[in-house]
Amino acid sequence: MSSSTDDLYGTHQSPVWRTEADFLIMAKVDADGESQKWEQLWAKQIDTHKFVICCIPFFTWDMDLGDEVETTNDYVFTRVLRPSGYKTHRIWFGNSLGTDTEEVAQTLQNLGAEVEWSSRNLLAVSAASEEINCNVLKYLLHQHNHQRLIYESVRP
């Protein structure tokens, strides 16, 4: 993988499955013509170019915690081989009206979700089952409707 001084990297300081991870792979997020954006993802190597994702993606689309993925020879993500069934949501608190972000994260964990912070304004959420995902989405919609956060789902 080549990189330039204009490359921008998103990293994971506390991946939720850190104890399982033994490798770092990269995923291209997007390119704006002047710089390339990347996300560094914690993973467990299961074959030469096959990995299980051990963090909740902050910026990469169409990938979830626990997905089995394939990489290039340079360990750059190419595709999901086997979806894990987890659902990923991203929460932005930057334009919220005095939201207690720690309370939101704790409520999501109490609902059975796993959470991972990118910054004080960006939280990634992972739901392991349809029941947990349904409860998470109800909660996020309620918070969104009260202008406490903005959220997006990585996949429908």
Cα angle, residue 92 at apex, residues 87 and 23 outer, rounded to 5°: 55
Does the predicted TM-score (pTM) go above 0.85?
Answer: yes
Tokens in use for 17?
């499955």
Residue 93: which residues within 8 A CB-CB, separation 6 or more?
99, 101, 104, 120, 121, 122, 123, 149
**Percent of the chain with pLDDT strictly greater than 70:** 91
User: CA quadruple 149, 152, 153, 156: dihedral positive or negative?
Assistant: positive
Q: Are residues 13 and 34 in the same domain?
A: yes
User: What are the Cα distances from residue 14, in Å, to 19, 54, 151, 156?
Assistant: 10, 10, 21, 26
In a domain, 1, yes or no: no
Residue 31 pLDDT class (50, 70, 90 cuts): low
Q: Are residues 128 and 110 in the same domain?
A: yes
Number of domains in the chain: 2
Q: Are residues 58 and 18 in the same domain?
A: yes
Asked if 101 contacts 125 with a C-beta cutoff of 8 angstroms, the reply is no
Of 51, 82, 113, the residue that ends a domain is 82
pLDDT at 1 over 60: no
Question: Region 65-78: what's the mean pLDDT?
Answer: 97
In a domain, 33, yes or no: yes
User: CA quadruple 14, 42, 52, 63: dihedral positive or negative?
Assistant: positive
Q: Are residues 52 and 102 in the same domain?
A: no
Cα 74 from Cα 32, distance rounded (Å): 22
Q: Are residues 58 and 42 in the same domain?
A: yes
Q: Give the CATH number, domain containing residue 143.
A: 3.30.70.600
What's the one-letter identity of residue 150? I
Tokens in use for 150?
């903005």
Question: Region 26-31: what's the mean pLDDT?
Answer: 84
Of 82, 108, 128, the residue that ends a domain is 82
pLDDT in tens, 91-127: 999 877 678 999 999 999 999 999 999 998 999 999 9
Of 57, 82, 107, the residue that ends a domain is 82
In a domain, 2, yes or no: no
What's the one-letter identity of residue 156? P
pLDDT at 19 over 70: yes
In a domain, 15, yes or no: yes
Domain that includes residue 18, residue range: 8-82
Q: Are residues 44 and 93 in the same domain?
A: no
Distance from the Cα of residue 150 to its chain's centroid: 15
Residue 10 pLDDT class (50, 70, 90 cuts): confident
Question: Region 69-92: what's the mean pLDDT?
Answer: 97
In a domain, 124, yes or no: yes
Number of helices followed by number of strands (H, E) in the chain:
2, 10
